[in-house]
Amino acid sequence: MERIEKIKIHYNFTSSDAKNLSELRPVMEKEQERFVREFYEYVKNFEDTPKFLKNDEIVRKHQDAIGKWFMAMFSGEYGTQYFHMLERVGEAHVKINLNAHYVNASMHFVKRFAFDILRSAVTDPKELIYISHSVEKILDINLDIFTSSYIEEEKKELFLSYKIESFLVEFSKRFSYGLNLILVIGLVIMGLLVIGLFIYDLTHIYHGEIERGILSTLGSLLMLWVVIELMDTEIDHLRGGKFAVKVFISVALVAVIRKILVTSLSSEAVDTQITLVAALAVLGGVYWLIARLDK
């Protein structure tokens, strides 16, 4: 039922359109036999028609079905039963392997036939345009549902088994979601470890190594900030947010900054510090470019 209502909304099909179509029913009933006759005159020119309409009995059944389908468009009732009927028609086309081109060409004939009747029956130009829009909507909805049957069949043919493919896709989604949950748990554990490292760095101050304690503590706080950012990013990703590359660049930046703070305590690590500063400059440039692209 939800799909039916969505289709109506997408085509802006309202109760006024249903009323317009139902009021046309008496006019179309008078033309039903002519419609079926001219429709068959049209489709018999298709190259594959003899393959599908093999004998008189099949032709009579199909003519009866075509007439009922034509009149159903002007019934004024476009609920679940009507849409299920259209789905069965589309599935029947797919089942007999009818080329979708013939369906589109046939719908073109139906539209032309219906509009010819409207031009003869409705004299007021404004009313003609108003009613024509309603007829055009119901014809487009019919073609939409017929076409969707071909699309669904193509999806099934893409895989060895449609059920297996659906299961694999659903399993992959759940597995990916599970991995993301494990990542969040890992980040929580990492946060606890960083808090432990922060406490450990504070002990340097307690033992009189004030400079080392302050720099190490500052590095730990930076790491804790990164863990918080990663957790926020991952939680946002679980809720449907986009993957934030910038956060992972910031992780590398913080790691390099902390390393610089630690090595700055050693006078013998000048070469290492120069290398780290160069790496910091490169990472800073990459971070700036990504931030600019995000904006």
Instruction: Please write the tens of the pLDDT for every residue from 170-218.
Output: 788 788 878 878 888 888 888 888 888 888 877 877 777 777 777 777 7
| 41-50, 167-176, 241-250, range with the lowest pLDDT | 241-250
Instruction: Please write the tens of the pLDDT for every residue from 110-148.
Output: 999 999 999 988 888 899 899 999 999 999 999 888 888
Q: What is the pLDDT of residue 154?
A: 60
Q: What is the pLDDT of residue 16?
A: 92
Each domain of the chain, given as residue ranges in start order, spans 2-158, 165-294
Instruction: Please write the tens of the pLDDT for every residue from 58-93.
Output: 888 888 988 999 999 998 888 888 888 888 888 888
pTM above 0.85, yes or no: no
Q: How confident is the model at residue 239 (pLDDT cuts 50, 70, 90)?
A: low
Percent of the chain with pLDDT over 70: 88
H/E/C letters for each residue in the chain? CHHHHHHHHHCCCCHHHHHHHHHHHHHHHHCHHHHHHHHHHHHCCCCCHHHHCCCHHHHHHHHHHHHHHHHHCCCCCCCHHHHHHHHHHHHHHHHCCCCHHHHHHHHHHHHHHHHHHHHHHCCCHHHHHHHHHHHHHHHHHHHHHHHHHHHHHHHHHCCCCHHHHHHHHHHHHHHHHHHHHHHHHHHHHHHHHHHHHHHHHHHHHHCCCHHHHHHHHHHHHHHHHHHHHHHHHHHHHHCCCCCCHHHHHHHHHHHHHHHHHHHCCCCCCHHHHHHHHHHHHHHHHHHHHHHHHHC
Q: What is the pLDDT of residue 241?
A: 60
Q: Domain 2-158's class? A: mainly alpha
Q: How confident is the model at residue 2 (pLDDT cuts 50, 70, 90)?
A: low
237-263 average pLDDT score: 71
243-265 average pLDDT score: 72
